[in-house]
Amino acid sequence: MLVSLLAGCGPAPTPAPAPLPAPTPTVAPSATAAASPVPAPPPEPAPLSEAALRAHVEALAAPELRGRGSGTEDEAAAAALIIARLKQWSIAPAGDDYLQTFKLRPDSGRESANIIATLPGRGALANEVVVFGAHYDHLGVRHGEAYLGAEDNASGVAAVLEGARALATESSPRREVLLVFFGAEEIGLVGSRYYAEHPVRPISQTVAMVNVDMIGRPIGDREGLRLLRSLVKLDPDASLGVLGTADRPVMREAAEGACATEALQLWATEDFPAPIRRVLEAFSEGRGDSFSFEDVGVPALFFGAGESDDYHRPTDTPDKLHYPLLTRRARAITDVVRRLATSRERPRRPNP
């Protein structure tokens, strides 16, 4: 395909004699490609592979995107990059367009956008929706320094992109999976709040939300937390944190089952001793796009590893991520989405 497209470029040919009927090809397309001077593009890494995830992180946290500041042209360039991947994999927009544009503030001239795409549902559950999301903006340039945001949140975007790519190839009956990449999270969850107020699918049919924010480093990757991690026997190389499973058996089961298949320890807030649990809950309340969904009654899971020593610093760069861990977590979270999208029991309890 690439070779035939390129063959149409270049200077106009000199007028040809009377056209001949097209000859029957005598060589296989691969042989034609092999004979061409144009090198074939390298094969794309497999869905949810370490190489594929790393490539997204490096592209989104590249110096050229200058930290994807909320409402900047760098954020828009990151959006274009995400949309290009979705198109490449034939993942369609949920409406006429991938972009849901909104103002940063009611009185602001500056805009940001959510990117919304769909993996349509199939069968009896097709009219119910599971939202799978991650914010793609970061802090941009401050005092002349770019905050590249590899962990926050190129890691989460990479997981949602690759998870979507994997789920798109599956054909079993399931709910619709709505992919939402949120803009302007860093200035106060602006994109997810806008989505919750302007949903592209009815909130009443949205049975669950899965948010991914910072999953490429060990949980609580801070020098000061080393002792606490060892006290609670948290394995830094094989654990995944989640908020939102307490008192929600369908969601808890989905998260536990998915983590077991990747040999990950699941650390939900309710699993920590009570004093730590209270601190964690108070600290995380309202600090992620999942809360915008909780606020309108959609049960939401927030997968993340918490803040590292490089959190919101220019040193949050792609080389700091633990890619084998990111890969296992991205696979497990995708499996959570798969389980929530296929479970017979509705993840959302009917209103009392």
Q: Between 176 and 213, whose beta carbon lies closer to Zn ion?
A: 213
Give dist(CA 152, CA 173) in Å, integer: 33
- Based on the shown chain and the rule CB under 5 A, indicate whether residue 153 belongs to the binding site for Zn ion: yes
Q: Where are the alpha helices (DSSP H) in the chain?
A: 2-7, 29-35, 50-60, 73-88, 155-167, 190-197, 226-231, 249-261, 274-284, 290-294, 323-342
Q: Between 137 and 176, whose beta carbon lies closer to Zn ion?
A: 137
Collapsed DSSP state (helix, strand, coil) of residue 294: helix
Amino acid occupying residue 201: R
- Based on the shown chain and the rule CB under 5 A, indicate whether residue 152 belongs to the binding site for Zn ion: yes
CA 157 vs CA 101, 179, 183, 326: distances in Å: 18, 10, 11, 11
Q: Which stretch binds Zn ion (CB under 5 A): 68-76, 150-158, 198-206, 218-226?
A: 150-158
Q: Between 153 and 290, whose beta carbon lies closer to Zn ion?
A: 153
Residue 133 Cβ vs Zn ion, minimum distance, rounded to whole Å = 12
User: Does residue 185 carry a catalytic annotation?
Assistant: yes
Category of 105 on φ-ψ map: left (φ > 0), alpha (ψ -120 to 50) or beta: beta
- Based on the shown chain and the rule CB under 5 A, indicate whether residue 213 belongs to the binding site for Zn ion: yes
Residue 84 Cβ vs Zn ion, minimum distance, rounded to whole Å = 22
> Per the residue annotation, which of 185, 186, 294, 307 is the catalytic one?
185
Category of 156 on φ-ψ map: left (φ > 0), alpha (ψ -120 to 50) or beta: alpha
Residue with tokens 């939401």: 300
Collapsed DSSP state (helix, strand, coil) of residue 121: coil
- Based on the shown chain and the rule CB under 5 A, indicate whether residue 335 belongs to the binding site for Zn ion: no
Give dist(CA 48, CA 65) in Å, integer: 23
- Based on the shown chain and the rule CB under 5 A, indicate whether residue 118 belongs to the binding site for Zn ion: no
Residue 213 Cβ vs Zn ion, minimum distance, rounded to whole Å = 4
Residue 321 Cβ vs Zn ion, minimum distance, rounded to whole Å = 14
Residue 103 Cβ vs Zn ion, minimum distance, rounded to whole Å = 21
- Based on the shown chain and the rule CB under 5 A, indicate whether residue 289 belongs to the binding site for Zn ion: no
Q: Which stretch binds Zn ion (CB under 5 A): 3-11, 109-117, 145-153, 246-254?
A: 145-153
Size of the site for Zn ion (CB under 5 A): 3
Catalytic residues: 185
Q: Which residues bind Zn ion (CB under 5 A)?
A: 152-153, 213
